[in-house]
Structure 1
Amino acid sequence: MEMNQYLEIFLEESNEHLQACNDKLLELEQNPEDLLIINEIFRSAHTLKGMSATMGYEDLANLTHKMENVLDALRNETLSVTPEIVDVLFLALESLEEMVDIIAAGGDGKKDVSEIVNTLEMIEKGERDQENPSTINEQTIDQAFDEYERTIIQQSIEQGYRVYEVIVTLREDCLLKAARAFMVFELLEKDGEILKSNPSVEMLEEENFQHQFNIVYITKEEIDDVSMKILKVSEIDNVNVQPIHIEDSEVSEMETAQKYIAPAKEVAAAKENEKVTNQQKQCVNEKKMAKPTKSTTKTIRVNIDRLDVLMNLFEELVIDKGRLEQISKDLNHPELKETVEKMSRVSSDLQNIILNMRMIPIETVFNRFPKMVRQLARDLNKKVQLQIIGAETELDRTVIDEIGDPLVHLIRNALDHGIETPEIRVKNGKNEEGTLTLRAYHSGNHVFIEIQDDGAGINQKKVLQKAIEREVISTEMAESLSKEEAYQLILSSGFSTADQISDISGRGVGLDVVKNTIESLGGRISIESSEGMGTLFLIQLPLTLSIISVMLVEVGAEKYGIPISSIIESLVINEKAILHTHNYKVIDYRGNIVPLVFLRELFDVREEHDADHFSVVIVKKGEKMAGIVVDSFIGQQEIVLKSLGQYLSNVFAISGATILGDGQVALIIDCNALIK
């Protein structure tokens, strides 16, 4: 069978399962007793093993199989979750990720993982109690029980009973072994039912065993109660009681349909009624077949390149739509006007669908960071708590693909050079565990990502000193820089010298790569820091790189677009409503003092405009607001946002431009830049 056609699906689903394993393993480390988490990891590993074997990637399948064995022992509670086991499982996942990456790059997925495989095998075998081997735990469930017994166990658990494997070890000098075994059976059957024993009852009666026998016991008693009861029998050296779990997936659909299974006391009677049982099974299955199935959400995987082509075609359509609207307005033809209005509504719906197809939650990037922070904190001997807020925030796929590496660099930087060691934190009166917060949220047509730590902060004097040494700035320039401008120096390429990292308090090197990547996406990065308190890196990114709704306004003979998503309200005010405070012009807007920004002054528009009334657009950035003063409003319009190009990439308060229906170019205002 030709497998290449399934390779893309295999890679995508493999990455999904590996991410699920990583996430759940982090949860398991915090909740080591939670068997549900172990079961979820086991299911993902089991699925990945099957997929890998089907595709012919034997190394991948073999390593996953060894992982699966350890997970199986954990969920059957023959092993306990320890930090060492979690570490080895993380190492195995890292190797699996590398093998999947090799396959994605066109390789065969082979990698020498013999050391990890051996470690997993040692964990699987070495953690068992060799003095008291458990017959069931040395076998698979299928080997230990037949179909009937597995169904008995499953139904008993569903009805609230507990199923244990009881391992009884007699003293070596015990003379009447059969009598002791009989006494144990008699005690246990008072409050439960014995499903089977190993050796068999006949062999026990004939004393055809050494000094140990196993019992599968169904009861409602706790483990400790069962153990204490058996230990009352004399000449018993040791009792080991272990719970037995059988997953739903290990019981066939036919077995699950059996309704004749009685709780523990009725096991014997159930065997005699197998004929009745078969009739009930048939009846239940017929009901299942007659029951209508619920519809499920259907999805299809689409190559991102096809979505890019679709977006480019739609951008052209939007430009032509604007031109048609202008022609319709000029001709004032009723039928043409009606047709253009209908086309505008349809194109608006189409735009929403296309944009939503490209939007994915930023959690696809954030998901990789908990594991990375955990490992790096351990390597640095630091205690760090990672907080992720707003992972559901959606961002354009193109931006998502590029933002991962800059965030990795900033987070590693915060852990390595921002957050102090526990000893230093305690000495400075801080909690020994540092906090790293990763936050994402929408504001207007932008997404903001914050990386904040409560570490040492940035030492401004040392940054300036290092910048002068590296000849990034001159001594005279250093004296005139503000604190914010000084912080921006750490984003310069002149700081990318690894042996000088420790000389800059709080921050290291290589951040120029981060800055360049973010700016190439049409975003910007700013830094806020307080020495001894911590540092905040704020990344601003465009929500989408193409089509937005704007309010068109006029200032003199020029037209500007203000993104609708940033606008709270548009209003007209009297000149007398303008107040003056601290050299700022402000207005009282619904009980809030809102500063005014006059676009005429900001962009040096020279045409005269005398008026007693002003048109104001109230815009927001998070909880902050500002009023943009313009000459007049034109109206709302869908526009294709175009970059100004690399030569005009740093124009203040302008995020791009668009071509209007009449061929005129309108600049798009970046409201976030106007609000401080």
Structure 2
Amino acid sequence: MDMQQYLDIFLDESQEHLQSINDFILKLEEDTSNLEYVHEIFRSAHTLKGMAATMGYDDIASLTHKMENVLDLIRNEELVTNTEIIDTLFIAIDALEDMVESVRNGGDGKKDVSEHVKKLEAIEKGESVPELAAAVAVNKEEDTGNYFQASDLDEFQLTVVQQAKEQGMVPYDLKVTFESGCILKGARAFMVFEVLENLGEVIRTSPTVEEIEEGSFDSGFTLLFLTDQEQDELIEAVKKVSEVEAVEAHIIQTDKEVPDNQKAAEEKAAEDATGTKEEKSDSKKVTEVPVRKSDSNTKAPKKNDMAQNNEKKTASKNIRVNLDKIDNLLNLFEEVVIDRSRLEVLVSSIDNGDLRETVEHLSRVSSDMQSLILAMRMVPIEQVFNRFPRMIRQLSKDLNKKIALEIKGAETEVDRTVIDEIGDPLVHLIRNSCDHGIESPEKRLANNKPEEGKLTLRAYHSGNHVFVEIEDDGAGINREKVSEKAIENHIITPQEAKELTDDQIAALIMSSGFSTADTISDVSGRGVGLDVVKNKIEALGGKISVTTTPGQGSIFSIQLPLTLSIITTMLVHIRKETFAIPLTSILETIILPKDKIMCAQGADVIDYRGQIIPVLSLGKVLKVPNYDTEADRYSTVIIKKGEKLLGLIVDELIGQQEVVLKSLGNYLGEVFAVSGATILGDGEVALIIDPNALID
């Protein structure tokens, strides 16, 4: 079977299951008695384990299997959920996310999860996780000289070893020792691995593979190695590597452990599927908890079954479609639009009522089709919002604050390309609000405010834009502190500081390198972040503003286009050519008398509402052939980039129109001051101007 064809499905579904686990663990922390949450977590973990094992990502499957064991004890009411368990599960989820991301980036999805496995095993046994962590650190220093034994392996590794033995392979504990004078231990270790890759498969190493490759070990390392080679042949093959002093190989006996563990795992899987459980005993458990059995005679379906059935019905209405396919469909549809426009021109010269009626109907249907295709690119913004409850939980701990997160409008749909780009700016803004905005519990109580701060994340549509707001009920932005810092950094003058409004002063925190943090921390205070946020949002065709009320809080508001593939533009003419200028960059259009154009330092400028701004001719910028039009009055578009303005002279203003942004492709590559192209209704190709490239 060609596993590569299933990789995209694995990555998408893994991300969904990991997000589901994250969400329900957070809910479980709030209500530890709700076993429905545990069932949801277990189902996602079980599915993820199965997918990972099928795809050959053993470390993901191994760690998820251990999570299952802990979750199974909780859902059977044999283990009580506490903060220690929640934290350990979250750490395991972080490791799983790292491994999935490794696969997404072309890696092998491998990671040393032995410490996470041991922590989860400790929870199974009722041991303290911190004590175990210390024990792991000690054992890690000592186990270089020890041999691997069956008791060192987790159940998944034991299963792999047993299956390999059934296929005629032998599990060896292989210890490689280098000469005392060996300098490049990492390079020699790499050569050893290269030899072993041709002879069998490495299952586990001590120390980790990363440490071995870096040469971070004393005299040697130990491997769990599966091979069909004879013991003497294996030793001789490794000894051929230069500076290898000794090689020892011992066969690991695993026959007794594997069947029982495998059988137990299979029994649990069967119980999950049927909802029934047979009585069993476990020598590791101190107490026995009665298990509720389902009544096979009852006619009413259980709540769990109903939920599962509803989920199946909902899932059957959805399919996964690669975004590239939708883009290709949109590109093909543009050809239909061109032909439709051509038909409309032709039918106007033919006196045929039926033909005219048919073409009009085609126009209406094709317009609806275009709207549907564009809607297929739209996804709920909850895909971004879902990551933040977990982040707020961690920030609350790091900052020693109590913060409640409220999410509104998560169902608001935006273009997939916006989703991919908006995540990082929101992370910066939320971290800033938690660190600078929301006060400590002590300060809040002293100011007669609730001990727990509130952070609201909301999204909503307004016209052709989507708004995302981050609101906190903290102390607000300190006008005096921001003003002092802005004056110190020469961003404003003392006179300007007196004249600016509170919101204008607050907006200065998004200046480059600006920070009012008294200390540098992992959360904020390095003078980077909000300026990057502003630049990123403006690059998306959006803008950001901030409003603040001292003592009551602040609101950061982000305005973004609904989609990056459809933009509203102003169509203009340069000679016979049509160009489109994004409306988000246009301040206004004016008729400019020729005598109002002045020259300053060799450049044309105009007095625009008391401000001297440069003015350019778009025809000359684009080097339109034989363009030297002289006139008494010029149609001029005032464009903006942040606080900077520019007057852009064109031949004629046509009007506003929504257009589909298309890339120029690899053949043309990047063209100065042109961000893409579009096909107009009459089939004409119009270049889309990039105003940001024209303003220094």
TM-score, normalised with respect to structure 1: 0.59
Contact 1:450–1:536, Cα closer than 8 Å, also in 2: yes
Matches within 5 A, 1:212-227: none
Alignment-derived partner of residue 406 in structure 2: 387
Alignment-derived partner of residue 465 in structure 1: 484
Among candidates 449, 460, 467, match of residue 468 of structure 2: 449
Distance 1:493 1:409 in 2: 14
Alignment-derived partner of residue 456 in structure 2: 437
Within the alignment, does 1:29 sit opposite 2:29 as a pair? Answer: yes
Alignment-derived partner of residue 13 in structure 2: 13
Q: Give the C-alpha shift of residue 146 in structure 1.
A: 9.9
| Paired amino acid for 1:434 | G
Contact 1:501–1:508, Cα closer than 8 Å, also in 2: no
Contact 2:567–2:658, Cα closer than 8 Å, also in 1: yes
Deviates more, 1:473-482 or 1:418-427: 473-482
Q: Deviations over 1:543-596 (max 9, x none)?
A: 1234489999xxxxxx9x9x9xxxxxxxxxxxxxxxxxxxxxxxxxxxxxxxxx
Distance 2:464 2:555 in 1: 22
Contact 1:325–1:661, Cα closer than 8 Å, also in 2: no
Matches within 5 A, 1:290-309: 297=316, 299-309=318-328
Contact 1:386–1:435, Cα closer than 8 Å, also in 2: yes
Within the alignment, does 1:244 sit opposite 2:291 as a pair? Answer: yes
Distance 1:314 1:260 in 2: 55
Alignment-derived partner of residue 102 in structure 1: 102
- Decide whether aligned partners of structure 1 residues 501 and 530 sit closer, same or farther in structure 2, where only a CA change above 3 A counts: farther
Among candidates 427, 430, 455, match of residue 408 of structure 1: 427
Q: Give the C-alpha shift of residue 465 in structure 1.
A: 1.6
Distance 2:437 2:5 in 1: 47
Alignment-derived partner of residue 541 in structure 2: 522
Q: Give the C-alpha shift of residue 532 in structure 1.
A: 1.4
Matches within 5 A, 1:571-610: 603-604=589-590
Contact 2:515–2:526, Cα closer than 8 Å, also in 1: no
Within the alignment, does 1:539 sit opposite 2:539 as a pair? Answer: no
Q: Deviations over 1:510-553 (max 9, x none)?
A: 2111111111111111111111111100111111234489999x
SS at match of 1:242: coil
Alignment-derived partner of residue 511 in structure 1: 530
Distance 1:416 1:468 in 2: 23
Contact 1:318–1:638, Cα closer than 8 Å, also in 2: no
Q: Give the C-alpha shift of residue 367 in structure 1.
A: 0.6
Contact 1:457–1:506, Cα closer than 8 Å, also in 2: no
SS at match of 2:560: strand
Contact 2:425–2:533, Cα closer than 8 Å, also in 1: yes
Matches within 5 A, 1:484-499: 484-495=503-514
- Decide whether aligned partners of structure 1 residues 396 and 528 sit closer, same or farther in structure 2, where only a CA change above 3 A counts: same
Distance 1:23 1:116 in 2: 20
Q: How many residues align?
A: 463
Alignment-derived partner of residue 124 in structure 2: 124
Q: Deviations over 1:161-214 (max 9, x none)?
A: xxxxxxxxxxxxxxxxxxxxxxxxxxxxxxxxxx98989xxxxxxxxxxxx9x9
Superposition CA RMSD, Å: 4.8
Contact 1:362–1:392, Cα closer than 8 Å, also in 2: yes
Alignment-derived partner of residue 63 in structure 1: 63
Contact 1:21–1:41, Cα closer than 8 Å, also in 2: yes
SS at match of 1:107: coil
- Decide whether aligned partners of structure 1 residues 445 and 95 sit closer, same or farther in structure 2, where only a CA change above 3 A counts: same
Q: Give the C-alpha shift of residue 309 in structure 1.
A: 3.1
Distance 1:536 1:45 in 2: 38
SS at match of 1:382: coil
Q: Give the C-alpha shift of residue 353 in structure 1.
A: 2.1
Contact 1:467–1:494, Cα closer than 8 Å, also in 2: no
Alignment-derived partner of residue 186 in structure 2: none
Distance 2:431 2:528 in 1: 11
SS at match of 1:15: helix
- Decide whether aligned partners of structure 1 residues 113 and 328 sit closer, same or farther in structure 2, where only a CA change above 3 A counts: same
Give unpaired runs (5+ residues) of structure 2. Answer: 129-259, 300-311, 572-577, 594-653, 664-670, 690-696
Alignment-derived partner of residue 89 in structure 1: 89
Distance 2:12 2:435 in 1: 32
- Decide whether aligned partners of structure 1 residues 507 and 646 sit closer, same or farther in structure 2, where only a CA change above 3 A counts: farther
- Decide whether aligned partners of structure 1 residues 434 and 126 sit closer, same or farther in structure 2, where only a CA change above 3 A counts: same
Give unpaired runs (5+ residues) of structure 1. Answer: 129-138, 158-194, 200-211, 215-238, 249-255, 262-292, 553-558, 564-598, 608-633, 650-655, 669-676
Distance 1:102 1:84 in 2: 27
| Paired amino acid for 2:47 | T
Q: Give the C-alpha shift of residue 388 in structure 1.
A: 0.3
Contact 2:561–2:567, Cα closer than 8 Å, also in 1: no
Contact 2:516–2:525, Cα closer than 8 Å, also in 1: no
% identical equivalent positions: 58
Contact 1:384–1:436, Cα closer than 8 Å, also in 2: yes
Alignment-derived partner of residue 78 in structure 1: 78
Contact 1:525–1:537, Cα closer than 8 Å, also in 2: yes
SS at match of 1:25: helix
Return the index of the structure with the highest Cα Rg: 1
Alignment-derived partner of residue 307 in structure 2: none
| Paired amino acid for 1:417 | H
| Paired amino acid for 2:479 | Q
SS at match of 2:548: strand
SS at match of 1:93: helix
Distance 2:266 2:592 in 1: 90
Distance 1:542 1:335 in 2: 40
Within the alignment, does 1:41 sit opposite 2:45 as a pair? Answer: no
